[in-house]
Amino acid sequence: MAELAAGGVPGEPPSGPAAEPPAGAPLRGPPCRRLRAVEPVLLLATLALALQAPLCPQLLWDRLAPRNGSGPGPGPPGEPGGCPNHTGPGPGPQELETLVAHWNLYLNLAGFFVGLFSVTLFGPWSDSVGRRPVLILPALGMALQAAIYLVVMYAELPVGYLLVGRVLSGLSGDYNLILAGCFAYVADVSDRTARTFRVAVLEACLGLAGMVASVLGGQWRKAQGYVAPFWLVFAASLAAALYSAFVLQESVPQRQPQRLLTLRHYKAVYRLYAGPARGQTWHQLLLYSLAFFMVVTVHFGAREILVLYELGPPLCWQSELIGYGSAAHYLTYLSSLVGLRLLQRCLRDAWVAELGLLSNALGLVTMALAGTTALMFTGYGLLFLSMMVTPVIRSKLSRLVGETEQGALFAAVACVEGLCSLVATGVFSSLFPACLSFMRGFPFLFGALLLLVPAAIIGGIEIRDGSPGYQHFGDLPEPPEEAEPSPRHD
């Protein structure tokens, strides 16, 4: 820990004059192309997150259900929930859904509220001390959270102890810091023409790992319960930390010790949007950030309630179908990547993003009205282009700032994502139990309506700008107010 606080990483000598390139040496070049890939870190971390995400609501469902045999108890291993008639004491199905939704809200608020401030602290810090420390710390935090969850399951402790794991993981930056570190790493080692492809590959890693985890988790939980899958969560998180510490090479060439607990890091994010020399660029930065916020909030919010929506009537899915549904949801990352590459040949990026928003809205409306398993999977199918939006917005944002500001930008984006998680958890997890009495799928309709805001922002900027430079990611122009970026010296 002392090494991390000083900007070093285990297994690597501290940076110094002999380890640094000569003054004036560019950051990008042949040495950068020899750096090891950061994609395994994101794959392992996403595997851990996607494996536990659908299992946590089911674990809460089983632990909070009455255990006298008269209500929706845990049942045999791997068969949670169901939709039995409630005839005995304890909470009925609707009351149980409300209780689980509230505990799910508490857990997510505990982690994301703390993580919101940790990410904006660690992100700018990585510009000086390097990217590896901000990949190691959150991976270790996720492993510690999984270990605490295992202790709760082995000792049959009250579900309130799960809050301890969420808070500790949030203090280390949680999964959002891993996202920020990986995207910043890619910005360090890639040039402007190749950066979009590397960002798209990173986003595809989210879907690939999530799809594998969802299918594996559903089947594994059905066969052996919760303990074995959470051991894999622990192992994947620890493997991500070990890979970052001992395999991944540093992407920041001139690292230097930097204080962690200082307001300077928060000011770096603030100056990104409020710098006096930025001119009119800050308008588009704010608008695209707002569009990104709305899109990711809807993504997170819908994902928050999907498992509860599928557990209850009329679907009454069990863990196997829940796993297949989660896999179909994550498959949209891969189908969107293919759609993005194909549609770019005939459409501007803004209109590609608009088609992605349309796909997202159609899928959510179908899910809101789904009363059968077939119709629910139809909704998943209509989402097949829904993840084309975020790569477009990330690419537009990255070209509104200079090359030396990429670290601060991705810290700001991670801050927005943390805020998205906080807002989505608070809004959708509270809205779902409130709508059970009249329409269980209303939160999905609400999410579809929210997508009108980013659609108006992206379309409005494209129509007003009308610049041919927005036809392709690689051709996006630099802001006219900014000078050519100089070589980076940290």
CA-CA distance, 363 to 365, in Å (whole number)? 6
- pLDDT at position 334 is 87
Name the amino acid, one letter, at 336: S
- pLDDT at position 16 is 43
Q: How many CB atoms lie within 10 A of CB 24?
A: 8
- DSSP letter string, 114-146: HHHHHHHHHHHHHHHH-SHHHHHHHHHHHHHHH
Contact 135, 178 (CB under 8 A): yes
Cα 455 to Cα 6, 148, 232, 321, 329: the distances in Å are: 44, 42, 39, 32, 22
pLDDT digits (tens, 9 = 90+) for 429-472: 889 888 888 888 999 999 999 999 999 999 998 888 765 444 44
DSSP state of 71: S
pTM given for the model: 0.72
- pLDDT at position 489 is 43
Give the per-residue SS3 of the chain: CHHHHCCCCCCCCCCCCCCCCCCCCCCCCHHHHCCCCCHHHHHHHHHHHHHHCCHHHHHHHHHHCCCCCCCCCCCCCCCCCCCCCCCCCCCCHHHHHHHHHHHHHHHHHHHHHHHHHHHHHHHHHHHHHCCHHHHHHHHHHHHHHHHHHHHHHHHCCCHHHHHHHHHHHHHCCHHHHHHHHHHHHHHHHCCHHHHHHHHHHHHHHHHHHHHHHHHHHHHHHHHHCCHHHHHHHHHHHHHHHHHHHHCCCCCCCCCCCCCCCCCHHHHHHHHHHHCHHHCCHHHHHHHHHHHHHHHHHHHHHHHHHHHHHHHCCCCCCCHHHHHHHHHHHHHHHHHHHHHHHHHCCCCCHHHHHHHHHHHHHHHHHHHHCCCCHHHHHHHHHHCCCHHHHHHHHHHHHHCCCCHHHHHHHHHHHHHHHHHHHHHHHHHHHHHHHHCCCCCCCHHHHHHHHHCHHHHHHHHHHHHHHCCHHHCCHHHCCCCCCCCCCCCCCC
Contact 254, 15 (CB under 8 A): yes
- pLDDT at position 488 is 44
- pLDDT at position 100 is 84
- pLDDT at position 293 is 95
- pLDDT at position 178 is 92
Contacts of 160 (CB under 8 A, 6+ apart): none
- pLDDT at position 472 is 42
Place of tokens 């950051």: 27
Place of tokens 């209109």: 351
CA-CA distance, 165 to 148, in Å (whole number)? 6
Would you tell me the crossing angle of helices 406-434 and 442-450 to the nearest 10 degrees?
150
- pLDDT at position 92 is 60
Residue 89: name the closest of 72, 108, 111 by CA: 72
- pLDDT at position 70 is 37
Q: At 230, list the tokens.
A: 């959470």
Residues of the chain with pLDDT under 70: 1-36, 66-93, 192-196, 218, 255-256, 275-280, 402-404, 466-490
- pLDDT at position 483 is 43
